[in-house]
Amino acid sequence: MLNFDDLGLSTEILMAIKVKGYSTPTPIQVQAIPHLLQGHDLLGIAQTGTGKTAAFALPLIDRLMKNRVKARPARVRALILTPTRELASQILASITTYAKNSKLSSAVMFGGVSERPQIMAMSRGVDILVATPGRLIDLMEQGHVRFEQLEVFILDEADRMLDMGFITDVKRVIRQLPAKRQTLLFSATMPQDIASLANTMLYRPVRVEVTPQSTTVEKVEQKVAMVEKGNRLMLLRNIVRQNSNGSVLVFTRTKHGADRVVKHLEREKVVAMAIHGNKSQNARERALQSFRSGKIQVLVATDIAARGIDVPGVGYVINYDLPEDPESYVHRIGRTARAGLGGVAISFCDNSELHLLRAVERLIKRKVPVDSMLGHR
Ligand code: AMP
């Protein structure tokens, strides 16, 4: 097995990794870092949880540190585009940790909050900018962000960008970038549109593919509860009550559904909050923080809002509805059983959703047993 020391990273970065407590690099880190340090483009097929952030961030920091150029006002030397605010904040947090022994500056840019601090940060120029597409385009068009000094462009979660309707925005940003640059594209899946985008934006990329964290999936005890939609609130309440000491993360397909579940739980005197796209950034951060600290027992989330959220110690994940996209199932249940802990994932299902359950079972290559004790038909 390779060590971090064997990958060719600078001492400053190795020190930061050590403090962070990583002992060995993950497969995507082993495969990607040496090529990235040599300046190659990269096509990474990987999802959250594989260590992909460090796989791109460590060599990025290394490169920017060695190439001692100062970002001029409004310029960025590296741009990381990511679909959601939560992911953008998390990537920035990782970068701050890994770059703490360097003098590199970094900033984050997303909508739903005031533009002012983001414009202020740009006025001095930044080495690494993490952004979601909408706000970036706004500030780019106002002249606050310029790319003449751009050295590296990273497109994260490209397939989500497509799902969320951001692909035109992404292309608009790419047209502004200098042709000579290092480009990385990460995506959990490779639909045709993303493959063609990769073809147009990458130059002779190294291709790295890591399989979804099947180990995570294996550590989670998974069950199905056959329950009609009308009985789901009651069943959820019972599960939450029986598990009164543990955190419960509930996924719903729609924002409206998430709000409805929260209202119902509150009527039952269970403290719960929702996070989804209609909530302000502050409200989402507050809900996440309360959930992490154990102030609230139940967090109800939609898939997009929950993407990338890292909450240690979630005991239960409840799929209040099964997701349309089976890969979301893997993301959802991956929120539990982190850091080697076990966890339980219960999926509510009725006859009209059996096809969704079969799609999940095909993807994870195993059957999810029905727990008849949980049924409230
Ligand atoms: P990511 O796929 O980038 O979202 O990373 C998932 C989680 O793995 C994050 O909480 C990272 O802090 C953690 N992580 C990344 N690289 C390593 C490593 N080499 N060893 C242990 N944990 C890691």
pLDDT digits (tens, 9 = 90+) for 240-292: 988 877 889 999 999 999 999 999 999 988 989 998 878 777 888 888 889 88
CB 345 within 8 A of CB 220: yes
26 lines ligand 1 (CB under 6 A): yes
CB 243 within 8 A of CB 343: no
Domains in the chain (CATH in brackets) are 4-209 (3.40.50.300), 213-375 (3.40.50.300)
Residues 10 and 251: their CA atoms lie apart, in Å, by 41
Residues 335 and 349: their CA atoms lie apart, in Å, by 20
The closest residue, in CA terms, to atom 15 on ligand 1 is 51
Ligand 1 centroid – CA 29 distance (Å):
10
pLDDT per residue as tens digits for the range 145-175: 999 999 999 999 999 898 888 999 999 999 9
pTM score, whole prediction = 0.65
CB 107 within 8 A of CB 181: no
Ligand 1 centroid – CA 139 distance (Å):
31
25 lines ligand 1 (CB under 6 A): yes
Residues 102 and 9: their CA atoms lie apart, in Å, by 13
319 lines ligand 1 (CB under 6 A): no
CB 128 within 8 A of CB 64: yes
The closest residue, in CA terms, to atom 8 on ligand 1 is 51
Residues 327 and 31: their CA atoms lie apart, in Å, by 23
Residues 154 and 80: their CA atoms lie apart, in Å, by 5
pLDDT confidence of residue 338: 56
φ, ψ at 192 (rounded to 5°) = -55, -40
Question: What is the average per-residue pLDDT within 218-228?
Answer: 89
**pLDDT > 90 in the chain, percent:** 67
Backbone dihedral region of 21: left (phi > 0), alpha (psi from -120 to 50 degrees) or beta? left
Write down the H helix ranges in the chain.
11-20, 27-37, 52-66, 85-98, 116-123, 133-141, 158-163, 167-175, 192-201, 214-219, 232-242, 255-267, 281-292, 303-306, 326-333, 354-364
